[in-house]
Amino acid sequence: PARVADLARASGQPVPRDPGEVTRAILDSLAEAYRRAVLGLAEAAGREVEVIHVVGGGSRNTLLCRLTAEATALPVVVGPAEGAALGNLLLQAATLGDLPANLPTLRQVAATSTHPPLTTHHP
């Protein structure tokens, strides 16, 4: 909390007064960092980003996902929290021939195999 307050003061922003405001400042900062990262990646790749997919622990933070959609002006598709493990499993299944080795099919299997189902936050 002290570092957040120091950074707020140094940048001329309101200083968070309680744990809720500190949390909100951190989440706003993360969403802004994601916006800058997406812009940088789009510029480096020479193409527009149309959607952001969030998996892992961050996918469980609904407010962060909503703030990211607002900051980036992009839809944010959320889920699953165990995305890395699911991706690993799908690639192994494709390698063994148990699933077709094409990205659209693997994405469809991932989308229909998660609980809770994937959700989308719109800007």
Domain boundaries, the chain: 2-121
> What are the b/e assignments for 60-90, b being 16+ CB within 10 Å?
eeeebbbbbbbbbebebbbbbbebeebeeeb
Report the C-alpha gap between 6 and 114 in whole angstroms: 41
Task: Classify 76 in phi/psi space as left (phi over 0), alpha (psi -120 to 50) or beta.
Answer: beta
Q: Is the pLDDT of residue 112 over 90?
A: no
Q: Which CATH architecture has domain 2-121?
A: 2-Layer Sandwich (3.30)
Q: Is the pLDDT of residue 26 over 90?
A: yes
Average of per-residue pLDDT across 39-45: 97
H/E run at residue 64: helix 62-72
pLDDT of residue 83: 87
pLDDT of residue 42: 97
DSSP state of 15: P
Q: What is the pLDDT of residues 72-86, one digit of tens each?
A: 999 999 988 888 899
Mean pLDDT, the chain, rounded, equals: 94
Task: Classify 102 in phi/psi space as left (phi over 0), alpha (psi -120 to 50) or beta.
Answer: beta
Q: Is the pLDDT of residue 113 over 90?
A: no
Helix (H/G/I), strand (E/B), else coil: 16: coil
Q: How confident is the model at residue 118 (pLDDT cuts 50, 70, 90)?
A: confident
Average of per-residue pLDDT across 15-42: 96
Report the C-alpha gap between 112 and 87 in whole angstroms: 13
Q: Is the pLDDT of residue 122 over 90?
A: yes
Strand 76-78 relative to strand 119-121: parallel, antiparallel, unpaired? antiparallel
